[in-house]
Structure 1
């Protein structure tokens, strides 16, 4: 569970430590009982688990700590607030009134401009079961260090069509009107950003 849940580098790394302890114990059991196949299998698994420890408690943890440090430092007055791009896959999303809607699961980036085109927001369900996915243009969000604020009401968000499985749009959907966003108009130019020349 610790590794499958992907709860961050430290938790995943400690999961591999637990796996390593288990594979070492089984190697000793195999050695004492003369089961060479058991020994060989668990020696190999120990090697794999040690790589996992290095990967998650060494390299990946350093990446996450560096990103966290930059994000916290950027919250000082007069400094543009930063967050790690990888965080876009699990940021909380609230509507314009502060009500929690769900979380982000992915962001689609335009190759030519390197701009985020739209974000996929997941709502409902447990563990990905029975959840609904909706594509929302990046122009409809206000970015904060602790999450994204959707500049729409919950009702306007729920009127957006739910995505059908893996059939995601090739371009950003149109932003909602100012009436639906509670008076917040979409960022100028967003509706025409993808129009053909």
Structure 2
């Protein structure tokens, strides 16, 4: 299995998922690809445990960003699954092993805030989002992007 890159998104202040591996095919991917191609991808914890699969990619429609990946874990055939919102920047796409690496231990993921398929949280709620990002030791995606936009605006006013 590929290890996480310490110089990945969290280290550089970027909010996108990092990409590792040599799996560069013809056509789209891995830099630009359909979100539906990522549904069902397995997710491995930082300590090498298979912790679930991606069940959805959540978009910040107004901001034009990926907000979260939804991790489905436990259960059987979709019954009894726990769902976890994972900050996009906490994930690394491993093109060699065709999976996501999550920068958190299996135990950390098990203790993360969760929900079920019938009771989704309000993912646009900044207080909820801040707590999810804090659990994974990430800055909220909207605050980093806002800082970059504000910096660009101040540079253009010079």
TM range (shorter): 0.5 to 0.7
Q: CA deviation at 1:88?
A: 2.4
C-alpha contact 1:96 1:153 (8 A) present in aligned 2: yes
- Listed one character per residue, the Cα deviations across residues 69-128 of structure 1 (whole Å, up to 9, x for unaligned) are x95237xxxx96554421222111000122111101001101122211011111112211
8 Å contact kept, 1:132–1:162: yes
Q: Is the aligned partner of 1:153 residue 2:105?
A: yes
Aligned partner of 2:149 in structure 1 is none
Write 1 or 2 for the structure with the bigger share of strand. 2
1:176 maps to which of 135, 138, 151:
135
1:126 to 69, 76, 80: 76
Candidates 117, 122, 140, aligned match of 2:90: 140
Q: Aligned residue for 1:37? A: none
Q: Distance in 2 between matches of 1:164 and 1:140?
A: 21
Return the structure number with greater relative CO, CA threshold 8 A, min gap 6.
2
What's 1:73 paired with?
A: 26
* Distance change >3 Å, CA 175–CA 190, structure 1 → 2: farther
* 2:68 pairs with 1:115: no
Q: For the structure 1 residues 71 and 166, does the alpha-carbon distance in structure 2 shift closer, same or farther, using more than 3 Å as the test?
A: farther
Deviation at 1:167? Answer: 2.6
CA contact (8 A) 2:35 2:57 kept: no
Task: Give deviations 1:13-46, integer Å, cap 9, x for gaps.
Answer: xxxxxxxxxxxxxxxxxxxxxxxxxxxxxxxxxx
- Cα contact 1:94–1:101 (8 A) shared by 2: yes
Q: TM-score, normalised by structure 2?
A: 0.60
Which has a greater percent of helix?
Answer: 1
Q: Determine if contact 2:133/2:140 at 8 Å carries over to the other structure.
A: no
The RMSD of aligned alpha carbons is 3.1
What are the ranges of 5 or more consecutive residues in structure 2 without an aligned counterpart? 1-22, 147-158
Moved over 4 A (4+): 79-83
